Amino acid sequence: MSFSITTWNINSVRLRMPIVEQFVLKHKPDILCLQETKVPNELFPAAPLRAMGYEHIIIHGQKGYHGVAIASRIPLTEDHRQDYCKVGDARHISAVFERGGRRVRLHNFYVPAGGDEPDRAINPKFGHKLDFIEEMKLLKANGEANTSAILVGDLNIAPLEHDVWSHKQLLKIVSHTPVETEGLLEIMRRGAWLDLMRHHVPENEKLYTWWSYRAKDWEAADRGRRLDHIWSSQDLGPHLQRIEILKEARGWDRPSDHVPVTAHFDF
Active site residue 83: no
Catalytic residue among 110, 128, 176, 229: 110
> Residue 148, exposed/middle/buried by CB under 10 A (0-12, 13-18, 19+)?
buried
Specify the pLDDT at position 216: 83
Specify the pLDDT at position 88: 96
Active site residue 110: yes
pTM over 0.95: yes
Residue 90, CB half-sphere, CA atoms under 13 Å: how many? 21
pLDDT class of 123 with cuts at 50, 70, 90: very high
Catalytic residue among 30, 89, 154, 195: 154
- What residue ranges define each of the domains in the chain, with the CATH number in brackets? 2-266 (3.60.10.10)
Residues of each annotated binding site for Mg(2+): 9, 36, 154, 156, 257-258
Does residue 142 have a pLDDT over 90?
Answer: yes
Average pLDDT on 105-134 reads 98
Average pLDDT on 134-160 reads 98
The span from the CA of 165 to the CA of 27, in Å, is: 28
Question: Which CA distances in Å does 233 have to 44, 84, 126, 194, 198?
Answer: 30, 21, 29, 6, 14
Lowest mean pLDDT, pick from 41-55, 156-170, 211-225: 211-225
Residues of each annotated binding site: 9, 36, 154, 156, 257-258
Catalytic residue among 92, 176, 229, 258: 258
Active site residue 213: no
